[in-house]
Chain A
């Protein structure tokens, strides 16, 4: 993918060039407030007349792309119509892949249909805006803080349904202050600072400890891919390779679905022998690398069941320095983790 957006608004100059080897399906963008994330999306959506967009995404010219739909604070609902009126108006003038009711249910808007737009809470407003955007049959969906007012379970639930609903042809660019939103849904990540893209690449590479020398703003999080095997009293049993772990799941992802398990590196501890640690999950693997993360911390990357698991440990403990590449270790973590 190649995408180049230039814009000039007063003193603020935007010159964002995104480039990836693989074609991203979902691209996440993070950056500080005022970095130009929203202006970037608005320009892609054609809301900033006179701003320049060039580039290609999946053999399509970005400046010629039709049905680029933005969901943000700058795309208000039409106040003269109620929720149902807003949705039906857009549905009538666009072709949808699914029925209106399916999209309304996906965005948890079924109970909101008869409400007036000024009666909606922040999270309800965001859900209706998302539903309206989906009814416009987007080819490129731009989400600018579109889930910020929803609680985590609702947010992850909708994100999961959205991923399942959107065909692989629909591309998504998502801006969020919450890195977890991006980690659970995106395959690529880009960092924007002062109107410029400073890094862009696959999520796994961007979250890698080696990338942290340049991007300290990113948290160190491992993303493990697994499948829900069973569910009992709010706790889901997830299989990661041949190993099973138990994780509390608020969004109740059904049995049989593939999931992403987000493990912050600071929550993982490592043992050199498989000892009996109570109430924790354990994954066995071999040490891949030990790198210095900060003055007092080292990031240990181990490979378990073919996936990378990173642990952040105190570097002044001599036992960390004694770890050898290829050595067998056991990683422990609690069941209070993010699942999506």
Chain B
């Protein structure tokens, strides 16, 4: 069994989800309160990873992470190491790849939050951090859980982007989906079966949990 690949996958998904939440909450909030004719352009950019072949995204990320590119060079100067084919590159790639899965539920949650609640809280002299903590976040808690769950599941299931920017380095970039591909290539069907089953059962359980949560909260937004 490829335990190091499973551990690496969980580490990647966990870290990506954490970063995604930190970025997606302010972005979704701003997007839900922003009205402009350019909004459709921004929304399309955010949703792009949903429709783009992961290899296309991976190709551009590979170019961006190369040591002679701006991002790659900056990373090299700051950390002293190259960025492409590292775990850090995978985290960057996953955050971009799963971004719409984090933003869309949060955006739906924030737009459903009626302005009356915020106006009332402000009128009653509640400071901004209290409004965020006691009014906004409780109202979008189900959306937060769904956004985190989907981001995690989607990162676990990613293959194309990892193949392009990570390669197959054990303990660094060899995640479960890559390991499965590798085992099939080497005709090790018994291990391939185990890995496929792990991914299948995990993804199914996570989606059941999310749909159950959606039913509990009577959310208007669909998980998928």
Contacts and interface: CB of A to CB of B under 8 A. Distances in A.
A78 B123 contact: no
Contacts of A47: 119, 123
B48 to A, nearest CB: 33
A76 B125 contact: no
A328 B116 CA distance: 58
Nearest to A48: B119
A98 interface: no
Nearest to A70: B123
B134 interface: yes
Interface string B104-133: 000000000010110111011111001000
A67 B125 contact: yes
The prevalent SS among residues of A at the interface is loop
Contact of A89 (B114, B116, B119, B126): B126
B134 A69 contact: no
A75 B134 contact: no
Nearest to B119: A47
A132 B134 contact: no
A90 B138 CA distance: 17
Contact of B120 (A67, A75, A94): A75
A78 B117 contact: yes
Nearest to A78: B135
B126 A93 contact: yes
Interface in A51-101: 67-70, 74-76, 78-81, 89-90, 93-94
B42 to A, nearest CB: 23
A170 to B, nearest CB: 16
A174 interface: no
A79 B116 contact: no
Select the residue from A67, A80, A89 with max chain B CB neighbours within 10 A. Answer: A80
A94 B125 contact: yes
A90 B126 contact: yes
A80 B138 contact: yes
A68 B123 contact: yes
B139 A79 contact: yes
Contacts, number: 52
Contacts of B134: 78, 80-81, 89
Contacts of B116: 74-76
Select the residue from B121, B123, B125 with max chain A CB neighbours within 10 A. Answer: B123
Given A74-B116, A89-B134, A93-B130, A80 B124 contact: no
Contacts of A247: none
Nearest to B126: A93
A89 B135 CA distance: 11
Contacts of B120: 74-76, 78
A136 B125 CA distance: 7
A71 to B, nearest CB: 10
A53 to B, nearest CB: 14
A330 to B, nearest CB: 52
A46 interface: yes
A260 to B, nearest CB: 31
A45 interface: yes
Given A74-B116, A75-B116, A89-B130, A80 B139 contact: yes
Interface in A157-185: none
Contacts of A93: 124-127, 130
Contacts of B117: 76, 78
Interface string A94-136: 1000000000000000000000000000000000000011001
Contacts of A79: 138-139
A121 to B, nearest CB: 20
B124 A132 contact: yes
B123 A69 contact: yes
Contacts of A132: 124
A79 B134 CA distance: 10
A94 B124 contact: yes
A89 B120 CA distance: 13
A217 to B, nearest CB: 30
Contacts of B114: 76
Interface in A5-21: none
B144 to A, nearest CB: 13
A69 B123 CA distance: 6
A8 B130 CA distance: 32
A326 to B, nearest CB: 54
Contacts of A69: 123-124
Interface string A24-66: 0000000000000000000001110000000000000000000
Question: Which are the 9 A-B pairs with shortest beta-carbon distances?
Answer: A80-B138, A75-B120, A136-B124, A47-B119, A90-B124, A74-B116, A78-B135, A93-B126, A93-B125
Interface of A: 45-47, 67-70, 74-76, 78-81, 89-90, 93-94, 132-133, 136
6 contacts: A47-B119, A67-B125, A78-B117, A89-B134, A132-B124, A136-B123
